[in-house]
Chains A and B, each alone.
Chain A
Amino acid sequence: MAEAASVLDGARYTGFVTVADAGLRGMITLRGDLASDAVAGAVKDAVGLGVPGQRRVHAHGDRAVAWMSPDELLVMVPYADASEVAGKLAQALAGAFATVANVSDARAVFTLSGAAADDALCKLCPVDFAQLGAGEIRRTRAAQVAVALWRSGEGEVTLVCFRSVAEYVFGLLRNAAAPGGELR
């Protein structure tokens, strides 16, 4: 039997913040006219959430929708549901100019938890974390690779990168969160 596995298989590191592999997450890229009723309806039916505005992320339980660009959304669901939800979205948007693709396997997801999570991340990402509120997603970079991140809970940031660089990003986060590096 071929079990699906995330690159880091649940790895965890605790420094002045805790960095953890969040495991596999269902992710679906949806490109289309974000202002259209078709997209709004399809997203609502698929995950029960509205289309987020620029740089916003809507989340409820294990489902979320994030704005990625003026014509692109990222729909997030449990990994096991991704194919089915992608199918539903594709079907609902069959008549519209829209593209749906399951990208769950192309990503790695990390959570950083701890009061000083921002202090670790600001060593890697050119983001003004003091201005990053709840419900906002930032597409940025961590050192040399692209990432997206948002506040996913109290003292918690979720960070998504491409699968192939998961070990590089985990190494970056470990290094940034290592004891002694606190920004006193």
Chain B
Amino acid sequence: MSRRLASGGRLIDRARPLKFTFNDQHMSGFAGDTLASAMLGRGQVLAGRSFKYHRPRGVVASGAEEPNALVGLGKGERFEPNQRTTTTELFDGLSATSQNHWPSLEFDLLAANNLVPQFLTAGFYYKTFLRPRAFWKHVYEPIIRRSAGLGRAPDAESRDPDRYELVYGFADVLVIGGGVAGLQAALAAGRAGARVMLWEQTAHWGGRAPVDGVEIDGQPADSWIKSAVEALEGMENVSLRLRCMGAGVHDHGYVLGNERVADHLPGASGPRQRLWRVRADRVITATGAIERPLSFAGNDLPGVMLASAVRDYVVNWAVSPGRTVVVTNNDDAYRTAIALKEAGEDVPVIADARDEATGALPQKARDLGIRIMTGTGVQKVKGGKTVTGVALCRIDSDGSTHTEVLDCDAVAMSGGWSPVVHLWSHCGGKLIWDDAQAFFRPDPDRPPLGHDGAGFVACAGAASGALGAGDGLADAHAAGAAAARDTGATGDAGHPARAEAPEEAPLRQVWIMPARAGYALRMKMWLDFQNDVKVSDVQLAAREGYHSVEHTKRYTTLGMATDQGKLSNINGLAVLSDALDQPIPATGTTTFRPPYTPITLGAISGEAKGDLFQPLRRTPMHDWHAANGVHWEPVGQWRRPFAYLRAGEDVHQSVNREVLNARSNIGLLDASTLGKILVSGPDAGRFLDMLYTNMMSTLRPGKCRYGLMCNENGFLMDDGVVARLDEQSFLVHTTSGGADHIHGWMEDWLQCEWWDWKVHTVNLTEQFAQIAVVGPKARALLERLGGMDLSREALPFMGWAEGTLGGVRARVFRISFSGELSFEVAVPAAQGRAFWDMLLHQGRDLGVMPYGTEALHILRAEKGFIMIGDETDGTVIPQDLNLNWAISKKKDDFLGKRGMERVAMTDPDRWKLVGLETLDGSVLPHGALAVVEGVNANGQAQTEGRVTSSYYSATLGRGIAMALVRRGPDRMGEVLRFAGAHDARIEARIVDPVLHDKDGEKLHG
């Protein structure tokens, strides 16, 4: 049973006990603990259940590589699933729950899966749930979802209350990893004068050198680390950051880092996490190495741990797993036996797979009286929910007989080390197989290449394969100095520190233990602890033809869990290589992808949530709308009033009221969102003639003209009114949603195609508040404000004038989108709200009443005016809308002219615009299709038209609609059948789309 030792623990502060709960059980640990060390210190070995078999799972590692000890952390709004206990810093009041068990962690009914593991081999789901197809969704999926999985997702209705932020950073040299190699690399680069950023994913500098008893420059590692950090903190050109995980390395030196600012300080002010987005000229990954498990039967039982993790717990947190058997293929694991022994713990035996163990570390273990058995491996681990003992056997045997059985609480295993090459590989760095050390390491000759063709990532220390502290520091110094030099730093990088560590003898490659283990053992040898993938699964996949490591990964799910195979990948591909009888480099690795460890979505979205989720564009009158019953409609990033609700009204009633009032009194529309683009210069007229289908260059100053814009294919893209300001300048009005696009479209043509034309464009959309004053009494209201002659004679329809209205400088456009007498008044935006208020005040007795976009739509539909986005959808040409009158026949060219001449565009069968009148007066559903007899090749009803706009017209007292119908204008009076809900058919007669004031008397009023 694991427990806290009476003394020691370099990272904990025994004077500061912290309380926490695990599955509602009260426990305590110390400041400096991780959740894992605190749980182990309290004897809580069992942490969760596995993905597929619901096998008991305990801590196996001590850092980011942990696959097993995942918990749900926090409660309510702050609940987070799948949090690694090994990287969760303990805080007072922490609440954790175990995952993937039913009904309880101690007693899991679904562990029955475990009794029949031969049924759940590789590809089990694919093979078993193939037939019948009808079962896929309603039988198989619910079964699989119930039994397989990890943490539950947070409640969909909860809202993360914490703050997150992005930070943009810049560095000459970014060093990722704050172990001794990272510190050394940063020292070299910093001394040379480069701007250096140094990140460490844990809360402590120095990595594992202090645990491993390394001496640097004649002092214990801890004191060298302290002075190195002090030296770095003293450099103005160096910034250091703890709890910041290098997540991904991308093109052009773009690196993402996840800083867990306050995960350990819940409720603190400030952001919980921040996502760094850094541009670095050079990146040094000093990310260390991860120890590999050994594949022996029962290696997944709680209590079986990595040897390095065991000594981390002993040295850093004074936690011992109890009586521990060490099993290894290398010298390094002897450090664990020595650490345990020096802490007063019992190590019954070190089982070493090698034939001899004669190095300095084995000798030291012998001197401490620890029994060493060479040529020995684990036959199987004994125990249920935790380890109770271990059976040993000859390493070269088939494991059918054991040589000895020992009682123990834990097994510390070491299969060698793998450099953490993830960041090196993200952006294309290549690996080479180092057979002597049995790992893939970065190939320094094939680094990720930057924009200049030079490598921009280098590895330092263990990450580059230099596992020994002495080699590692020299390697890191060289990497730091070279990176600084590459960025132009010319200072003296100084000398590397010297580290003393015992020489280590070579390891023996051991991929399964024992070497000739039979099927019964192999099906109990776990490769991927989280996803329950075993040696037998990979071997089965190989027999079934999965030769590519990428295919095997997906077929078996090896390495696809939340730990992304940090412990399992190398062992898995070694087993695959053996099964395929090919060398390991011929199998290769799967692809390393960012992020290195999972990043919470909150950190990725940064500040973009709640009110800041996306920009909301507001017109100068926005606050008035908000205070006056507005029902909003999103239009691009604007919010426009759909209607203004009065007490007791529903939206429909409000819209009808607004329509009728505009037709009988005065309506006010906030039209500020309309695009307003100044087009000016000697070639402005020529330019607009190319952009619009009709002629704009002939427009006289003081006049307005409606125009259509098409793309090169002839499809209608935007429409609006152009006002000629003077000889050389025009003000182009676009749709609200189209302003930015049309401005970009103009600049595209001017900058890329007609670069020699003398035309400037300036987007003035936001300079003006624009208000449409609409209705028979509109002129009366504006005349009350005073300052301009707006009579029919002085300002006729389609004219504009400039002057002062009520003391405000204004441009008045005599245009109408409603069919009523109408003026659109543009005033400086900063006076927009005041001018709006003035209109409301002055027009009270005239019946002035704002109206929203729905009334706007109805008013225009009653007049048969088209709306971009309703009558058009990117496949409609102006001719479809009977707008031939707006297409110039005199111009040699304009954008879209050629497109409109293509055969499909001139087909007389095209669907064209008509008005519709339902026979029963009802309102047709939006988008309803006109159906005819017969079905198409897909068995769908044949159609001959569709509704593009449909409203209830309060003016006419019935439903009105516009539609695109095959040869529509030729079929006036015909009755079509439109599809409604539930197979209903609604009959509607084809009519002229202009339903209101056909002669335009009101419009010209």
Contacts and interface: CB of A to CB of B under 8 A. Distances in A.
Contact of B612 (A104, A128, A168): A168
Nearest to B833: A5
Interface string A6-44: 110000000000000000100001011000000000000
A105 B830 contact: yes
A31 to B, nearest CB: 4
A102 interface: yes
Interface string B116-140: 0000000000000000000000000
A182 B618 CA distance: 30
Given A4-B828, A105-B830, A167-B616, A180 B638 contact: no
B720 to A, nearest CB: 19
Contact of A143 (B608, B760, B831): B608
A176 interface: yes
A54 interface: no
Best-surrounded residue of A29, A101, A163 (most CB of chain B within 10 A) = A163
Contacts of B168: 122-123, 125-127
Contacts of A24: 830
Contact of B829 (A98, A163, A167): A163
Interface stretch (B286-294, B451-459, B676-684, B791-799): B676-684
A123 B616 contact: no
Contacts of A124: 166, 607
Given A1-B807, A106-B765, A171 B830 contact: no
Given A123-B166, A179-B270, A2 B838 contact: yes
Contact of A103 (B608, B680, B764): B764
B834 A105 contact: no
Contact of A175 (B163, B268, B760, B806): B163
A180 B616 contact: no
Contact of A105 (B678, B828, B838): B828
Nearest to A181: B270
Contacts of A7: 618, 620
A27 B270 CA distance: 36
A3 to B, nearest CB: 6
A7 B616 CA distance: 14
9 contacts: A2-B807, A2-B834, A5-B833, A123-B607, A143-B612, A162-B766, A172-B607, A175-B165, A181-B271
Interface of B: 163, 165-170, 195, 262, 268-271, 274, 277, 279, 606-608, 611-612, 614-620, 638, 678, 680-682, 729, 758, 760, 762, 764-768, 806-809, 827-831, 833-835, 838
Given A6-B830, A101-B678, 9 more contacts: A4-B834, A32-B760, A97-B682, A101-B762, A106-B765, A126-B277, A131-B170, A144-B615, A175-B163
Interface in A118-142: 122-128, 130-131
A32 to B, nearest CB: 8
Contacts of A144: 608, 614-615
A164 B831 contact: no
A127 B758 CA distance: 33
Count class of interface residues, chain A: 35 or more
B615 A175 contact: no
Contact of A123 (B167, B808, B830): B167
A145 interface: yes
A140 to B, nearest CB: 10
A73 B608 CA distance: 32
A123 B167 CA distance: 4
Contacts of B618: 7, 164-167
A145 B766 CA distance: 14
Contact of B767 (A106, A178, A180, A183): A106
Contacts of A29: 762
Given A99-B678, A168-B615, A175-B163, A130 B170 contact: yes
Contacts of A166: 618
A31 B764 CA distance: 14
A32 B829 CA distance: 26
Best-surrounded residue of B606, B760, B809, B831 (most CB of chain A within 10 A) = B760
Interface in A66-100: 71, 79, 83, 97-99
Contacts of A123: 165-168, 274, 606-607
Best-surrounded residue of A1, A7, A164, A168 (most CB of chain B within 10 A) = A164
B838 A176 contact: no
A42 B831 CA distance: 29
B681 A97 contact: yes
Given A3-B834, A6-B830, A122 B167 contact: yes
A126 to B, nearest CB: 5
A62 B835 CA distance: 28
Contacts of B764: 101, 103, 106
A79 to B, nearest CB: 8
